[in-house]
Amino acid sequence: MIDPATLPSLPRLVSAPRFERYQQRYAGRSDLAVRLYAWNIELTTAFWGPVGCLEVFLRNAVHDALRHGRRDDWWNEPAVRLLVRERRAIDAAIRTLRDRGDPYPAPDRVVAATSLGLWVGLTDAGVPRDPLWSYETSIWQPRVVHAFPGLGHVRRKQLHRRLDDVRRVRNRLAHHEPIHTAPLELIRDDIIAIAGFIDPQAAALIDGAHRIDQVLLRKRAAVETGASVI
């Protein structure tokens, strides 16, 4: 293991504005700040696996619920009314695939190219009480709820809130932002719980294989001794 505090170029390589956010945590001490930065990377890598699993499980489960008894590109069904944000997300995925040389991407490729935000958005309320644009009545109750057979007494709005919290952390991971100030134990528990709503074995994989807890326990050693594992 290398102590990142022995590498004086790191603050410059990270960039001053980004590094300052770590320095503020330790009253300007660069040695502790750069160690925290390295530990944040370790934490990020620990969360990526569970978040990635949940993202795949979620989009496939919701996709299956929405295409059941329909064409696979359910978003082209006249009866499916999507708000602008979801329609744009699907259009963006199709456009990306076409730019990569696939003029007529298959539905499964479109699903794989979409962002997590699309699937989180499909658990939202849409336009509440609107006869055409209420996701609660047009998408959730007849379709999307079946993607979560283990939901029990958890309501749609509660599921959506938890999914949106995971989405926010996922975006911070993707942009290499600090996550060490987030409610990490809660996010970990939400990831496992939501996976369990989809399938108990999905939760079993994440719960039994993640290393988030070990990394959380390593924070003190990582910052005090510089024992970095990225």
Q: What is the pLDDT of residue 1?
A: 83
> What's the rounded mean pLDDT across residues 123-147?
95
Q: In 3-state terms, what secondary structure has residue 116?
A: helix
Contacts of residue 107, defined as CB under 8 A and 6 or more positions apart, other chains included, come to 67, 71, 72, 73
Q: Is the pLDDT of residue 56 over 90?
A: yes
Looking up tokens 């999507």, which residue turns up? 82
Tokens of 90: 């699907």
Tell me the per-residue pLDDT of 15-37, one tens digit each, with 9 for 90 and over: 999 999 999 999 889 999 999 99
Query: Mean pLDDT throughout 180-188?
Result: 96
The pLDDT of residue 131 is 87
Mind listing the pLDDT tens digit for each residue in 71-88?
A: 999 999 999 999 999 999
Mean predicted confidence (pLDDT) in 196-225: 97
Residue 215: its H or E element? helix 212-217
Radius of gyration of the chain (CA): 21
Question: Residues 6 or more apart from 173 whose CB is under 8 A from it?
Answer: 44, 47, 48, 51, 179
- CA nearest to 175, candidates 183, 167, 164: 167
CA separation, residue 208 to residues 192, 195, 200, 201, 202 (Å): 10, 13, 12, 10, 10
Looking at residue 27, its pLDDT comes to 87
Place of tokens 């170029």: 9
Residue pLDDT, tens place only, 94-107: 999 999 999 999 99
Closest C-alpha to 114, from 160, 180, 62, 179: 62
State residue 86's pLDDT score.
97
Instruction: Report how far residue 213's alpha carbon sits from residue 47's, in angstroms, rounded to the nearest whole number.
Output: 10
Q: Which pTM does this prediction carry?
A: 0.95
